[in-house]
Protein backbone atom coordinates (compact mmCIF):
# COMPACT_ATOMS: atom_id res chain seq x y z
CA UNK A 1 0.00 0.00 0.00
CA UNK A 2 1.10 3.49 -0.60
CA UNK A 3 2.72 5.85 1.74
CA UNK A 4 0.73 8.86 1.08
CA UNK A 5 -0.44 8.76 4.64
CA UNK A 6 -3.80 10.12 5.60
CA UNK A 7 -2.65 11.18 8.97
CA UNK A 8 -2.86 8.71 11.75
CA UNK A 9 -3.30 10.85 14.80
CA UNK A 10 -1.06 8.70 16.93
CA UNK A 11 0.91 5.99 15.28
CA UNK A 12 -0.11 2.74 16.84
CA UNK A 13 -0.12 -0.40 14.79
CA UNK A 14 -3.17 -2.40 14.09
CA UNK A 15 -2.89 -6.09 13.37
CA UNK A 16 -5.52 -5.67 10.70
CA UNK A 17 -3.46 -3.03 9.05
CA UNK A 18 -0.90 -5.18 7.40
CA UNK A 19 -0.17 -4.20 3.92
CA UNK A 20 -0.57 -6.83 1.27
CA UNK A 21 1.75 -5.40 -1.34
CA UNK A 22 4.61 -4.03 0.70
CA UNK A 23 4.24 -5.76 4.01
CA UNK A 24 4.44 -2.46 5.84
CA UNK A 25 1.79 -1.64 8.40
CA UNK A 26 -0.59 1.19 8.45
CA UNK A 27 -0.68 3.24 11.52
CA UNK A 28 -4.16 3.65 12.94
CA UNK A 29 -5.97 6.68 14.17
CA UNK A 30 -5.24 7.48 17.77
CA UNK A 31 -8.76 8.57 18.35
CA UNK A 32 -12.12 8.34 16.77
CA UNK A 33 -12.18 12.11 16.62
CA UNK A 34 -9.19 12.04 14.30
CA UNK A 35 -11.01 9.71 11.96
CA UNK A 36 -14.28 11.61 12.02
CA UNK A 37 -12.42 14.85 11.37
CA UNK A 38 -10.49 13.46 8.44
CA UNK A 39 -13.51 11.85 6.83
CA UNK A 40 -15.58 14.97 7.45
CA UNK A 41 -12.71 17.01 6.00
CA UNK A 42 -13.13 15.04 2.81
CA UNK A 43 -16.92 15.28 2.90
CA UNK A 44 -17.37 18.95 3.79
CA UNK A 45 -16.23 21.08 0.91
CA UNK A 46 -17.45 22.71 -2.24
CA UNK A 47 -20.19 20.08 -2.41
CA UNK A 48 -21.97 21.76 0.48
CA UNK A 49 -21.23 25.40 -0.15
CA UNK A 50 -21.10 25.54 -3.93
CA UNK A 51 -23.03 22.56 -5.32
CA UNK A 52 -25.82 22.02 -2.82
CA UNK A 53 -27.39 25.52 -2.99
CA UNK A 54 -27.41 25.74 -6.76
CA UNK A 55 -28.73 22.22 -7.28
CA UNK A 56 -31.50 22.85 -4.74
CA UNK A 57 -32.11 26.10 -6.62
CA UNK A 58 -32.51 24.24 -9.89
CA UNK A 59 -34.72 21.53 -8.48
CA UNK A 60 -37.44 23.26 -6.62
CA UNK A 61 -36.32 23.74 -3.02
CA UNK A 62 -37.94 21.87 -0.13
CA UNK A 63 -38.94 18.71 -1.95
CA UNK A 64 -35.41 18.25 -3.19
CA UNK A 65 -34.09 18.82 0.33
CA UNK A 66 -36.45 16.12 1.65
CA UNK A 67 -35.29 13.58 -0.93
CA UNK A 68 -31.66 14.47 -0.35
CA UNK A 69 -32.03 14.01 3.43
CA UNK A 70 -33.86 10.75 2.87
CA UNK A 71 -30.95 9.46 0.77
CA UNK A 72 -28.34 10.52 3.30
CA UNK A 73 -30.12 8.98 6.26
CA UNK A 74 -30.66 5.63 4.62
CA UNK A 75 -28.24 4.61 1.96
CA UNK A 76 -25.78 7.38 2.84
CA UNK A 77 -25.17 6.11 6.36
CA UNK A 78 -25.26 2.46 5.26
CA UNK A 79 -22.66 3.07 2.57
CA UNK A 80 -20.42 5.18 4.76
CA UNK A 81 -20.37 2.26 7.13
CA UNK A 82 -19.81 -0.22 4.30
CA UNK A 83 -16.83 1.70 2.94
CA UNK A 84 -15.36 2.08 6.42
CA UNK A 85 -15.79 -1.64 6.91
CA UNK A 86 -13.85 -2.52 3.77
CA UNK A 87 -11.03 -0.29 4.93
CA UNK A 88 -11.28 -1.50 8.49
CA UNK A 89 -11.09 -5.18 7.54
CA UNK A 90 -8.10 -4.83 5.26
CA UNK A 91 -6.17 -1.74 6.21
CA UNK A 92 -5.91 -1.01 2.53
CA UNK A 93 -7.26 1.41 0.00
CA UNK A 94 -10.12 0.47 -2.28
CA UNK A 95 -8.49 -1.42 -5.12
CA UNK A 96 -6.16 -3.54 -3.02
CA UNK A 97 -8.82 -3.98 -0.36
CA UNK A 98 -11.39 -5.32 -2.83
CA UNK A 99 -8.74 -7.52 -4.35
CA UNK A 100 -7.78 -8.94 -0.98
CA UNK A 101 -11.34 -9.57 0.12
CA UNK A 102 -13.01 -10.45 -3.15
CA UNK A 103 -10.42 -11.39 -5.74
CA UNK A 104 -9.28 -10.06 -9.06
CA UNK A 105 -12.66 -9.18 -10.54
CA UNK A 106 -13.65 -6.96 -7.64
CA UNK A 107 -10.40 -5.05 -7.96
CA UNK A 108 -11.89 -3.62 -11.15
CA UNK A 109 -14.55 -1.88 -9.11
CA UNK A 110 -11.71 -0.24 -7.21
CA UNK A 111 -9.92 0.78 -10.39
CA UNK A 112 -13.05 2.35 -11.84
CA UNK A 113 -13.74 4.12 -8.56
CA UNK A 114 -10.21 5.49 -8.58
CA UNK A 115 -10.63 6.69 -12.15
CA UNK A 116 -13.84 8.33 -11.02
CA UNK A 117 -11.99 10.12 -8.21
CA UNK A 118 -9.62 11.47 -10.84
CA UNK A 119 -12.48 12.60 -13.08
CA UNK A 120 -14.25 14.31 -10.18
CA UNK A 121 -11.02 16.01 -9.19
CA UNK A 122 -10.71 17.36 -12.73
CA UNK A 123 -13.85 19.43 -12.49
CA UNK A 124 -13.57 20.04 -8.75
CA UNK A 125 -10.37 22.00 -9.32
CA UNK A 126 -12.21 24.33 -11.69
CA UNK A 127 -14.48 25.44 -8.85
CA UNK A 128 -11.54 25.35 -6.44
CA UNK A 129 -9.96 27.89 -8.78
CA UNK A 130 -13.01 30.13 -8.49
CA UNK A 131 -12.54 30.05 -4.72
CA UNK A 132 -8.91 31.13 -5.10
CA UNK A 133 -9.90 34.05 -7.33
CA UNK A 134 -12.73 35.14 -5.05
CA UNK A 135 -10.36 35.02 -2.10
CA UNK A 136 -8.01 37.35 -3.98
CA UNK A 137 -10.91 39.64 -4.76
CA UNK A 138 -11.95 39.54 -1.13
CA UNK A 139 -8.46 40.71 -0.15
CA UNK A 140 -8.61 43.64 -2.54
CA UNK A 141 -12.20 44.35 -1.55
CA UNK A 142 -13.30 44.31 -5.18
CA UNK A 143 -15.62 41.42 -4.48
CA UNK A 144 -17.97 43.45 -2.33
CA UNK A 145 -20.84 44.74 -4.39
CA UNK A 146 -24.49 45.36 -3.81
CA UNK A 147 -25.39 45.15 -7.40
CA UNK A 148 -26.10 41.51 -8.21
CA UNK A 149 -26.26 42.25 -11.91
CA UNK A 150 -22.69 43.46 -11.72
CA UNK A 151 -21.73 40.33 -9.77
CA UNK A 152 -23.29 38.13 -12.42
CA UNK A 153 -21.41 39.97 -15.16
CA UNK A 154 -18.13 39.76 -13.25
CA UNK A 155 -18.55 36.07 -12.55
CA UNK A 156 -19.34 35.32 -16.18
CA UNK A 157 -16.47 37.45 -17.43
CA UNK A 158 -14.02 35.72 -15.11
CA UNK A 159 -15.12 32.16 -15.84
CA UNK A 160 -15.24 32.89 -19.56
CA UNK A 161 -11.69 34.21 -19.57
CA UNK A 162 -9.50 31.23 -20.46
CA UNK A 163 -6.30 32.61 -18.95
CA UNK A 164 -7.90 33.63 -15.66
CA UNK A 165 -9.84 30.42 -15.19
CA UNK A 166 -6.99 28.10 -16.15
CA UNK A 167 -4.56 30.02 -13.99
CA UNK A 168 -6.77 29.92 -10.93
CA UNK A 169 -7.51 26.25 -11.51
CA UNK A 170 -3.75 25.67 -11.76
CA UNK A 171 -3.14 27.44 -8.46
CA UNK A 172 -5.76 25.40 -6.66
CA UNK A 173 -4.54 22.15 -8.17
CA UNK A 174 -0.95 23.13 -7.40
CA UNK A 175 -1.81 23.72 -3.73
CA UNK A 176 -3.51 20.33 -3.59
CA UNK A 177 -0.51 18.61 -5.18
CA UNK A 178 1.89 20.38 -2.84
CA UNK A 179 0.00 19.18 0.22
CA UNK A 180 0.05 15.60 -1.05
CA UNK A 181 3.69 15.77 -2.16
CA UNK A 182 4.81 17.18 1.16
CA UNK A 183 2.74 14.61 3.04
CA UNK A 184 1.32 17.23 5.36
CA UNK A 185 -2.25 15.98 5.23
CA UNK A 186 -1.94 15.12 8.88
CA UNK A 187 -1.34 18.69 9.92
CA UNK A 188 -4.06 19.89 7.59
CA UNK A 189 -6.59 17.48 9.05
CA UNK A 190 -5.64 18.46 12.57
CA UNK A 191 -6.18 22.07 11.65
CA UNK A 192 -9.67 21.00 10.59
CA UNK A 193 -10.45 20.61 14.26
CA UNK A 194 -10.50 24.40 14.45
CA UNK A 195 -11.15 25.47 10.91
CA UNK A 196 -14.23 23.38 10.25
CA UNK A 197 -16.10 24.68 13.31
CA UNK A 198 -14.90 28.15 12.34
CA UNK A 199 -16.47 27.74 8.90
CA UNK A 200 -19.72 26.55 10.49
CA UNK A 201 -19.78 29.51 12.88
CA UNK A 202 -19.09 31.95 10.11
CA UNK A 203 -21.90 30.45 8.09
CA UNK A 204 -24.21 30.96 11.08
CA UNK A 205 -23.18 34.59 11.21
CA UNK A 206 -23.84 35.06 7.51
CA UNK A 207 -27.18 33.26 7.88
CA UNK A 208 -28.16 35.72 10.59
CA UNK A 209 -27.60 38.56 8.12
CA UNK A 210 -29.12 36.77 5.16
CA UNK A 211 -32.33 36.02 7.06
CA UNK A 212 -32.83 39.65 8.00
CA UNK A 213 -32.64 40.88 4.41
CA UNK A 214 -36.01 42.10 3.17
CA UNK A 215 -37.72 39.33 1.24
CA UNK A 216 -35.48 36.60 2.64
CA UNK A 217 -38.30 34.69 4.30
CA UNK A 218 -39.73 33.72 0.94
CA UNK A 219 -36.44 31.92 0.30
CA UNK A 220 -36.55 30.18 3.67
CA UNK A 221 -40.07 28.97 3.00
CA UNK A 222 -39.10 27.82 -0.47
CA UNK A 223 -36.08 25.94 0.90
CA UNK A 224 -37.89 24.28 3.79
CA UNK A 225 -41.41 23.61 2.50
CA UNK A 226 -41.56 20.54 0.29
CA UNK A 227 -43.70 20.78 -2.79
CA UNK A 228 -43.62 17.22 -4.02
CA UNK A 229 -45.16 18.14 -7.35
CA UNK A 230 -41.70 19.51 -8.18
CA UNK A 231 -40.18 16.05 -8.13
CA UNK A 232 -39.25 14.45 -11.42
CA UNK A 233 -36.91 11.60 -12.27
CA UNK A 234 -34.20 14.16 -12.83
CA UNK A 235 -34.70 15.66 -9.40
CA UNK A 236 -34.40 12.26 -7.79
CA UNK A 237 -31.22 11.55 -9.70
CA UNK A 238 -29.66 14.86 -8.71
CA UNK A 239 -30.59 14.34 -5.05
CA UNK A 240 -29.13 10.85 -5.09
CA UNK A 241 -25.94 12.04 -6.78
CA UNK A 242 -25.61 14.93 -4.38
CA UNK A 243 -25.96 12.59 -1.41
CA UNK A 244 -23.03 10.59 -2.75
CA UNK A 245 -21.01 13.65 -3.63
CA UNK A 246 -21.52 15.47 -0.35
CA UNK A 247 -20.59 12.39 1.70
CA UNK A 248 -17.62 11.52 -0.55
CA UNK A 249 -19.17 8.12 -1.23
CA UNK A 250 -18.84 5.68 -4.08
CA UNK A 251 -15.29 6.56 -5.11
CA UNK A 252 -13.37 4.78 -2.40
CA UNK A 253 -12.49 7.78 -0.24
CA UNK A 254 -14.05 6.53 2.94
CA UNK A 255 -12.39 3.12 2.53
CA UNK A 256 -9.04 4.79 2.91
CA UNK A 257 -10.07 6.54 6.12
CA UNK A 258 -11.62 3.38 7.49
CA UNK A 259 -8.31 1.62 7.04
CA UNK A 260 -6.78 3.78 9.74
CA UNK A 261 -9.48 3.25 12.34
CA UNK A 262 -8.37 1.61 15.57
CA UNK A 263 -9.89 -1.74 16.47
CA UNK A 264 -12.09 -0.44 19.20
CA UNK A 265 -13.54 2.49 17.32
CA UNK A 266 -17.29 2.53 17.08
CA UNK A 267 -17.93 2.47 13.38
CA UNK A 268 -21.65 3.08 13.27
CA UNK A 269 -21.33 6.13 15.48
CA UNK A 270 -18.52 7.45 13.30
CA UNK A 271 -20.61 7.01 10.15
CA UNK A 272 -23.47 8.91 11.72
CA UNK A 273 -21.12 11.69 12.76
CA UNK A 274 -19.66 12.11 9.29
CA UNK A 275 -23.12 12.12 7.72
CA UNK A 276 -24.34 14.67 10.26
CA UNK A 277 -21.46 17.07 9.72
CA UNK A 278 -21.73 16.86 5.94
CA UNK A 279 -25.49 17.35 5.95
CA UNK A 280 -25.25 20.17 8.43
CA UNK A 281 -22.79 21.93 6.15
CA UNK A 282 -25.22 21.57 3.23
CA UNK A 283 -28.19 22.84 5.21
CA UNK A 284 -26.24 25.82 6.55
CA UNK A 285 -25.10 26.69 3.05
CA UNK A 286 -28.68 26.42 1.80
CA UNK A 287 -29.90 28.74 4.56
CA UNK A 288 -27.14 31.15 3.76
CA UNK A 289 -27.58 31.35 0.01
CA UNK A 290 -31.24 30.69 -0.84
CA UNK A 291 -32.87 33.38 1.32
CA UNK A 292 -30.38 35.87 -0.08
CA UNK A 293 -31.13 34.68 -3.60
CA UNK A 294 -34.78 35.56 -3.06
CA UNK A 295 -33.96 38.83 -1.31
CA UNK A 296 -31.72 40.00 -4.16
CA UNK A 297 -33.98 38.74 -6.90
CA UNK A 298 -31.39 36.36 -8.36
CA UNK A 299 -33.08 33.46 -10.20
CA UNK A 300 -32.63 30.38 -7.95
CA UNK A 301 -31.86 28.25 -10.99
CA UNK A 302 -28.95 30.47 -12.03
CA UNK A 303 -26.66 27.42 -12.02
CA UNK A 304 -23.11 26.76 -10.86
CA UNK A 305 -22.31 30.43 -10.22
CA UNK A 306 -25.06 30.88 -7.62
CA UNK A 307 -22.89 30.88 -4.49
CA UNK A 308 -20.26 33.11 -6.04
CA UNK A 309 -22.84 35.62 -7.21
CA UNK A 310 -24.80 35.73 -3.97
CA UNK A 311 -22.17 35.65 -1.23
CA UNK A 312 -20.44 38.93 -2.15
CA UNK A 313 -23.78 40.73 -2.12
CA UNK A 314 -24.47 39.50 1.42
CA UNK A 315 -21.00 40.51 2.59
CA UNK A 316 -21.56 43.97 1.16
CA UNK A 317 -24.56 44.28 3.49
CA UNK A 318 -22.71 43.17 6.64
CA UNK A 319 -20.76 45.19 9.16
CA UNK A 320 -17.09 44.21 8.77
CA UNK A 321 -18.15 42.69 5.46
CA UNK A 322 -14.67 43.00 4.01
CA UNK A 323 -13.05 41.02 6.82
CA UNK A 324 -15.86 38.48 6.80
CA UNK A 325 -15.47 37.99 3.06
CA UNK A 326 -11.76 37.26 3.51
CA UNK A 327 -12.39 34.85 6.38
CA UNK A 328 -15.18 33.10 4.50
CA UNK A 329 -13.27 32.49 1.29
CA UNK A 330 -10.19 31.43 3.27
CA UNK A 331 -12.19 28.85 5.21
CA UNK A 332 -13.96 27.72 2.06
CA UNK A 333 -10.62 27.33 0.32
CA UNK A 334 -9.41 25.24 3.23
CA UNK A 335 -12.51 23.03 3.12
CA UNK A 336 -12.17 22.66 -0.65
CA UNK A 337 -8.50 21.73 -0.33
CA UNK A 338 -9.13 18.99 2.22
CA UNK A 339 -11.69 17.48 -0.15
CA UNK A 340 -9.43 17.86 -3.19
CA UNK A 341 -6.56 16.24 -1.31
CA UNK A 342 -8.77 13.27 -0.52
CA UNK A 343 -9.53 12.90 -4.24
CA UNK A 344 -5.94 13.44 -5.35
CA UNK A 345 -4.29 11.11 -2.92
CA UNK A 346 -5.82 7.77 -3.95
CA UNK A 347 -5.07 8.54 -7.57
CA UNK A 348 -1.38 9.12 -6.81
CA UNK A 349 -1.41 6.13 -4.46
CA UNK A 350 -2.73 4.01 -7.31
CA UNK A 351 0.31 4.80 -9.47
CA UNK A 352 2.59 4.09 -6.53
CA UNK A 353 0.91 0.79 -5.61
CA UNK A 354 0.15 -0.65 -8.99
CA UNK A 355 3.13 0.61 -10.97
CA UNK A 356 5.67 1.17 -8.21
CA UNK A 357 6.12 4.83 -9.08
CA UNK A 358 8.01 7.09 -6.76
CA UNK A 359 5.86 9.53 -4.88
CA UNK A 360 7.25 12.71 -6.50
CA UNK A 361 6.69 11.61 -10.11
CA UNK A 362 3.31 10.14 -9.18
CA UNK A 363 2.13 13.45 -7.74
CA UNK A 364 3.49 15.31 -10.75
CA UNK A 365 1.78 12.94 -13.17
CA UNK A 366 -1.57 13.33 -11.41
CA UNK A 367 -1.10 17.10 -11.41
CA UNK A 368 -0.45 17.21 -15.16
CA UNK A 369 -3.18 14.72 -16.05
CA UNK A 370 -5.76 16.52 -13.89
CA UNK A 371 -4.84 19.84 -15.43
CA UNK A 372 -5.23 18.47 -18.95
CA UNK A 373 -8.49 16.70 -18.14
CA UNK A 374 -9.85 19.67 -16.20
CA UNK A 375 -8.92 22.33 -18.75
CA UNK A 376 -11.81 21.54 -21.13
CA UNK A 377 -14.19 21.75 -18.16
CA UNK A 378 -12.79 25.16 -17.26
CA UNK A 379 -12.97 26.35 -20.86
CA UNK A 380 -16.57 25.22 -21.18
CA UNK A 381 -17.62 28.36 -19.29
CA UNK A 382 -16.12 30.49 -22.07
CA UNK A 383 -14.48 29.68 -25.34
CA UNK A 384 -15.86 26.16 -25.44
CA UNK A 385 -19.31 26.95 -24.09
CA UNK A 386 -20.77 25.93 -27.43
CA UNK A 387 -19.30 22.46 -27.28
CA UNK A 388 -22.23 20.37 -26.14
CA UNK A 389 -22.65 16.65 -25.78
CA UNK A 390 -26.01 15.21 -24.83
CA UNK A 391 -27.17 18.78 -24.48
CA UNK A 392 -24.63 19.58 -21.75
CA UNK A 393 -21.45 21.59 -21.56
CA UNK A 394 -18.24 19.66 -20.93
CA UNK A 395 -18.26 20.73 -17.28
CA UNK A 396 -21.87 19.69 -16.77
CA UNK A 397 -21.32 16.41 -18.53
CA UNK A 398 -18.31 15.52 -16.39
CA UNK A 399 -20.23 16.45 -13.28
CA UNK A 400 -23.30 14.50 -14.39
CA UNK A 401 -21.53 11.29 -15.41
CA UNK A 402 -19.19 11.11 -12.44
CA UNK A 403 -21.60 12.22 -9.71
CA UNK A 404 -24.96 10.91 -10.89
CA UNK A 405 -23.87 7.74 -12.62
CA UNK A 406 -20.45 6.51 -11.53
CA UNK A 407 -20.69 7.37 -7.83
CA UNK A 408 -24.01 5.56 -7.33
CA UNK A 409 -22.67 2.68 -9.45
CA UNK A 410 -19.59 2.45 -7.21
CA UNK A 411 -21.79 2.63 -4.13
CA UNK A 412 -24.04 -0.09 -5.47
CA UNK A 413 -21.11 -2.44 -6.04
CA UNK A 414 -19.78 -1.80 -2.55
CA UNK A 415 -23.23 -2.30 -1.02
CA UNK A 416 -23.59 -5.69 -2.70
CA UNK A 417 -20.03 -6.64 -1.94
CA UNK A 418 -20.38 -5.88 1.77
CA UNK A 419 -23.99 -7.00 2.18
CA UNK A 420 -23.67 -10.28 0.26
CA UNK A 421 -20.11 -11.35 -0.55
CA UNK A 422 -18.30 -10.59 2.69
CA UNK A 423 -21.28 -10.24 5.03
CA UNK A 424 -20.15 -12.75 7.69
CA UNK A 425 -16.89 -10.84 8.03
CA UNK A 426 -18.40 -7.43 7.52
CA UNK A 427 -20.95 -7.78 10.28
CA UNK A 428 -18.20 -8.44 12.79
CA UNK A 429 -17.23 -4.78 12.67
CA UNK A 430 -20.38 -4.13 14.68
CA UNK A 431 -19.58 -6.80 17.27
CA UNK A 432 -19.70 -5.31 20.71
CA UNK A 433 -21.57 -2.30 19.47
CA UNK A 434 -24.59 -1.26 21.47
CA UNK A 435 -26.56 -0.80 18.27
CA UNK A 436 -27.12 -4.51 17.53
CA UNK A 437 -30.56 -3.74 16.11
CA UNK A 438 -28.76 -1.92 13.36
CA UNK A 439 -27.01 -5.05 12.03
CA UNK A 440 -30.04 -6.47 10.15
CA UNK A 441 -31.21 -2.98 9.23
CA UNK A 442 -27.83 -2.28 7.73
CA UNK A 443 -28.03 -5.41 5.60
CA UNK A 444 -31.49 -4.54 4.35
CA UNK A 445 -30.31 -1.05 3.51
CA UNK A 446 -27.37 -2.46 1.58
CA UNK A 447 -29.07 -5.29 -0.27
CA UNK A 448 -32.61 -4.04 -0.72
CA UNK A 449 -32.94 -0.31 -0.35
CA UNK A 450 -29.73 0.77 -2.05
CA UNK A 451 -30.25 -1.27 -5.23
CA UNK A 452 -33.94 -0.36 -5.41
CA UNK A 453 -33.23 3.32 -4.89
CA UNK A 454 -30.40 3.48 -7.39
CA UNK A 455 -32.02 1.36 -10.10
CA UNK A 456 -35.36 3.01 -9.45
CA UNK A 457 -33.94 6.47 -9.89
CA UNK A 458 -31.99 5.52 -13.00
CA UNK A 459 -35.07 3.88 -14.42
CA UNK A 460 -37.12 7.03 -13.79
CA UNK A 461 -34.55 9.15 -15.51
CA UNK A 462 -33.60 7.14 -18.57
Footprint on this chain of ligand PHE (rule: CB under 6 A) = 42-43, 45-48, 120, 245-246, 248, 251, 253, 339, 342-343
The angle, 0 to 180 degrees and rounded to 10, between the axes of the packed helices 306-316 and 185-211 is: 60
How many Å is the maximal CA-CA distance in the chain?
63
In angstroms, what is the minimal distance from the CB of 321 to ligand PHE? Answer: 25
Cβ contact 98:110 at 8 Å: yes
Cβ contact 376:411 at 8 Å: no
In angstroms, what is the minimal distance from the CB of 415 to ligand PHE? Answer: 17
Torsion of CA 70, 73, 79, 85, to 10 degrees: -170
Please give the span between the terminal C-alpha atoms of the chain, in angstroms, as a whole number.
39
In angstroms, what is the minimal distance from the CB of 258 to ligand PHE? Answer: 14
Nearer to ligand PHE, 198 or 447 (CB): 198
Nearer to ligand PHE, 222 or 245 (CB): 245
CA angle (271, 288, 331) in 5-degree steps: 65
Tell me the residue length of the chain: 462
Nearer to ligand PHE, 32 or 51 (CB): 51
Cβ contact 190:35 at 8 Å: no
In angstroms, what is the minimal distance from the CB of 5 to ligand PHE? Answer: 17
Bridge partner list, 11 = none
- Of 242, 184, 193, residue with least CA distance to 67: 242
In angstroms, what is the minimal distance from the CB of 72 to ligand PHE? Answer: 12
Cβ contact 385:102 at 8 Å: no
Nearer to ligand PHE, 253 or 295 (CB): 253
Q: Using CA atoms, how far apart are residues 384 and 160, in angstroms rounded to an integer?
A: 9
314 to each of 208, 216, 289, 323, 361, how far by Cα in Å?
Answer: 11, 11, 9, 13, 43
Nearer to ligand PHE, 251 or 453 (CB): 251
Return the CA Rg of the chain. 21
Nearer to ligand PHE, 345 or 353 (CB): 345
CB atoms within 10 A of CB 437: 8
In angstroms, what is the minimal distance from the CB of 278 to ligand PHE? Answer: 7
Q: Using CA atoms, how far apart are residues 366 and 10, in angstroms rounded to an integer?
A: 29
Nearer to ligand PHE, 181 or 274 (CB): 274
| Chain residue whose CB lies nearest ligand PHE | 47
412 to each of 132, 259, 310, 456, how far by Cα in Å?
Answer: 35, 20, 36, 12
- Of 248, 330, 328, residue with least CA distance to 72: 248
46 to each of 126, 137, 278, how far by Cα in Å?
Answer: 11, 18, 11
In angstroms, what is the minimal distance from the CB of 413 to ligand PHE? Answer: 16
Nearer to ligand PHE, 45 or 170 (CB): 45
Which contiguous run of DSSP H or E holds residue 17? Answer: strand 12-18
Q: Using CA atoms, how far apart are residues 145 and 103, in angstroms rounded to an integer?
A: 57
In angstroms, what is the minimal distance from the CB of 120 to ligand PHE? Answer: 6
* Number of separate helices (H) and strands (E) present in the chain: 22, 2
Nearer to ligand PHE, 125 or 144 (CB): 125
CB atoms within 10 A of CB 22: 13
What 3-state DSSP class applies to 197? helix
Nearer to ligand PHE, 45 or 300 (CB): 45
In angstroms, what is the minimal distance from the CB of 339 to ligand PHE? Answer: 4
CA angle (283, 266, 408) in 5-degree steps: 50
Nearer to ligand PHE, 251 or 429 (CB): 251
In angstroms, what is the minimal distance from the CB of 305 to ligand PHE? Answer: 17
In angstroms, what is the minimal distance from the CB of 244 to ligand PHE? Answer: 8
Nearer to ligand PHE, 120 or 422 (CB): 120
In angstroms, what is the minimal distance from the CB of 403 to ligand PHE? Answer: 8
Amino acid sequence: MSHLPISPAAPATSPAATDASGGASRATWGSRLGFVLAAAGSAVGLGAVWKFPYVVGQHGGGAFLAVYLGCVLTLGVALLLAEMTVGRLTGQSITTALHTLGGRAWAWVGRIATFNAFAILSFYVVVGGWTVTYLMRAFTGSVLANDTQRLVTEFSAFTANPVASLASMGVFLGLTALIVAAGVQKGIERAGKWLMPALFLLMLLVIARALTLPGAMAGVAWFLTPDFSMISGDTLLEALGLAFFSLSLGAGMIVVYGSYLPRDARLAGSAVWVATLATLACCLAGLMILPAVFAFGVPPDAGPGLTFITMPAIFAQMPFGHAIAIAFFLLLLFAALTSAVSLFEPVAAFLIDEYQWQRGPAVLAVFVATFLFGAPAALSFGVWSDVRLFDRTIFDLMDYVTVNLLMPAGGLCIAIFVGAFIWPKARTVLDGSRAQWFVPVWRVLLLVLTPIAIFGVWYQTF
